[in-house]
Amino acid sequence: DVPLLERFARARSAGFGAVEISSNELFEHCPKEVASHLKGEGLDCVLFNLPAGDWRGGERGLAALPKRQEEFLRSLQQGADYAERLGCSRVHCLAGLLGSSEIYRSNLQKAGEVLGPMGVEVLIEPINQRSMPDYHLKSFGQAERLLAEVSRPNAPVKLLFDFFHCQILHGDLTMNLRKYADIIGHVQVAGVPDRGEPDARQEVNFRHLFQVLRDELGYKGHIGCEYQPRGKTEDGLKWLDELVE
């Protein structure tokens, strides 16, 4: 609800030490400027989305789109520059709508080859069709098969496990966490079904899931709060006191 660079101070004031950036607005600012604002607030950027095409025009990524490979490669180089300047070790590579599995596979391999040597993981995220109709990557099984083909030790491509999308696509969240634990690179959370705060007003037992994630599976990474606040962002953070020890 405020411009990107102003959000960093609010994140720090709310007690966060790290942020992820999912908006194309990131690329309206030079990386030096963004890095300066992050440093000024003492924040780490742990994830951002690669350029996703014409978002306002309805595009939702480039990686699977035919006849857009050159544009994707330019976006990849731009993303590499931002990752280096921001000290960010993960980027989310959005597939786009419809598209080609062959092109997607090829572009993900290129992304891993470019970013892997920099110490940057490429992430892919299955997205449910209710939230984003026609998104190319539409199941966790599809993502698992794709990662088996493209991920390499020196060019890692991993799964962005979003509880919201997994619950809508497949349910069975505990078992799916266990099933995909070895390929998870990052986790995001939102309440179901309305994508609001992950509090008592939604259907998922996040206290249990966080315990499985941390205590059973040994997950040490960040959990991104990728939900849509029902009101003022700061007013909706009470769930943190209830769920996070």
Rounded to 10 deg, the angle between the 4-13 and 31-41 helix axes is 20
- Does the annotation mark 25 as catalytic? no
At residue 242, the pLDDT reads 82
Burial of 231 by CB count in 10 Å (0-12 exposed, 13-18 middle, 19+ buried)?
exposed
Assess whether pLDDT exceeds 80 at residue 170: yes
15 dihedral zone (left: phi>0; alpha: psi -120 to 50; beta): left
Q: Taking the CA of residue 171 as centre, how many other CA atoms within 13 Å lie in the half-sphere pointing to its CB? A: 1
Mean pLDDT of the 67-90 span: 97
Rounded to 10 deg, the angle between the 69-86 and 101-115 helix axes is 30
The span from the CA of 144 to the CA of 51, in Å, is 23
**Which pTM was predicted?**
0.96
Please report, rounded to a whole number, the percentage of residues in the chain having pLDDT higher than 90.
97
Mean pLDDT of the 82-103 span: 98
Beta bridge pairs of residue 224: 188
At residue 245, the pLDDT reads 59
Where does the pLDDT of residue 241 fall: very low under 50, low under 70, confident under 90, or very high at 90 and above?
A: confident
- Does the annotation mark 20 as catalytic? no
The 10s digit of each residue's pLDDT in 176-231 is: 999 999 999 999 999 999 999 999 999 999 999 999 999 999 999 999 999 999 99
Sheet holding 157-162, edge to edge: 18-21, 44-49, 90-92, 121-124, 157-162, 184-189, 223-225
The span from the CA of 220 to the CA of 18, in Å, is 14
Q: Looking at 226, 234, 242, 245, which residue is catalytic?
A: 226
The 10s digit of each residue's pLDDT in 113-147 is: 999 999 999 999 999 999 999 999 999 999 999 99
- The closest alpha carbon to 17, from 240, 243, 242, 219, belongs to 240
Where does the pLDDT of residue 244 fall: very low under 50, low under 70, confident under 90, or very high at 90 and above?
A: confident
Q: Looking at 20, 41, 121, 125, which residue is catalytic?
A: 125
Mean pLDDT of the 6-27 span: 96
The span from the CA of 216 to the CA of 71, in Å, is 42
- In the three-class reduction of DSSP (H, G, I as helix; E, B as strand; rest coil), residue 9 is classed as helix
Average pLDDT, the chain: 96
Mean pLDDT of the 61-72 span: 97
Mean pLDDT of the 11-36 span: 97
Q: Which amino acid is at 204?
A: V
Assess whether pLDDT exceeds 70 at residue 8: yes
